[in-house]
Amino acid sequence: MSYKGKTILFDCGIHPAYSGMAALPYFDEIDPSTIDVLLVTHFHLDHSASLPYFLEKTTFKGRVFMTHATKAIYKLLLSDYVKVSKVSVEDMLFDEQDILRSMDKIEVIDFHQTLEVNGIRFWCYTAGHVLGAAMFMVDITGVRVLYTGDYSREEDRHLRAAETPQFSPDICIIESTYGVQLHQPMNVREKRFTYVIHSTISQGGYVLIPAFALGRAQELLLILDEYWSNHPELHNIPIYYASPLAKRCMAVYQTYINSMNERIRNQFANSNPFDFKHIYPLKSIENFNDVGPSVVMASPNGLQSGLSRQLFEMWCSDKKNACVIPGYVVEGTLAKTIINEPKEVTLMNGLTAPLNMQVHYISFSAHADFAQTSTFLKELMPPNIILVHGEANEMGRLKQKLITQFADRNTKIISPKNC
């Protein structure tokens, strides 16, 4: 975004369905050397994972900011990404050293703290979505732009809902991931989630939950641990949280408890809610004790490679087993393919196998749905709305609905193409 000679880059992610250079944003369309400030809203790969590449391997020489929790988790998540990526060494966009070097360059910002760089003033608000997620308000000579990143106005078990800024921006750049869809109420989704898992276990099956090690995984672990506590008959059934980073991830969550909602802070006064009673870390498939029904949460969330893919291939042909896809999955990933329940799937070795396991899509992805988006925009009433972060058809439908909603005002709504 450029205005009056100042240039800002919002977020710096990769496309999770691709690997190597193909996963990068269109960096060749911009001149990194002209960027004054890079603001990263949260740690998810599609918002942060090209940062080591961008900082180390392009002409960018500006400053980069994110919140404290985002920085802590960014480091872990990118280490995990490097470990589970199935690309050759020469196709790797960056290595562990690049991640560490990028950590030296990342500066942190507190929520509601105002900073100024080269005449660009900016501050941030809580965005919900994941721990540390921020919406950035940028002010250049009095013109204000709000960039939501990914946000959710629904409080869940551990996160606060997104804040509403106290004044209206001139331009609101807003995510459109779920377009005009409406989410089921949280308690309905939780019931479906625990019902599917309990009934699969009762039939002697395995449950695979493909999810990244950090983010929505913690919400699901809180739900599972509480459900197991309330069902003594499940106490001999193990739940594994499978990630080389499992223990370190939990330490970060325990550190940033004060950034979470009141419910979890109250629990923390008695005992640490992230110190799970029924969930065990699992480092690799070699450590997996395969002796009967169990629940395994494993990364990556798209089943492209890594432990979640290995377990999927072991379990996909038995109809007793289930795969619960707990969040938004990207076009081009195996997780997206199996939601439509094809008869067969292609294994990593190129052979095919029947897909007999049950596949359930129950989204906990904490993005705003249409109801949240339209309410948020009604409260802010920005004269200009720019839709981003959505699949073209969904975004088109959202645009039409918003045009109707704001018909009596002179609101400009644009949905720019991806380059």
- 200 neighbors 239 (Cβ within 8 angstroms): no
User: Residue 243: is its pLDDT beyond 70?
Assistant: yes
- CA-closest candidate to residue 322, choices 362, 349, 290: 362
- 389 neighbors 355 (Cβ within 8 angstroms): no
What per-residue confidence (pLDDT) applies to 275? 86
- 15 neighbors 39 (Cβ within 8 angstroms): no
- Residue 181's Cβ-side half-sphere holds a number of Cα atoms within 13 Å equal to 16
- pTM of the entire predicted model: 0.90
The amino acid at 290: D
User: Residue 84: is its pLDDT beyond 90?
Assistant: no
Q: Could you tell me the two tokens for 60?
A: 């960018």
148-179: pLDDT as tens digits: 999 999 999 999 999 999 989 999 999 999 99
Residue positions annotated with a catalytic role = 367
Q: Could you tell me the two tokens for 211?
A: 């999810």
Residue 390 DSSP SS3? coil
Quick count: other Cβ atoms within 10 Å of Cβ 89? Answer: 6
H or E element at residue 378: helix 370-380
Confidence bin at 316 (pLDDT 50/70/90): very high
What per-residue confidence (pLDDT) applies to 284? 72
User: Residue 65: is its pLDDT beyond 80?
Assistant: yes
- CA-closest candidate to residue 416, choices 14, 6, 26: 26
Round the average pLDDT of the chain to a whole number and report it: 92
Average pLDDT over residues 83-89: 71
Residue for token pair 């990118």: 78
- Beta carbons within 8 Å of 203's beta carbon, 6+ residues apart: 320
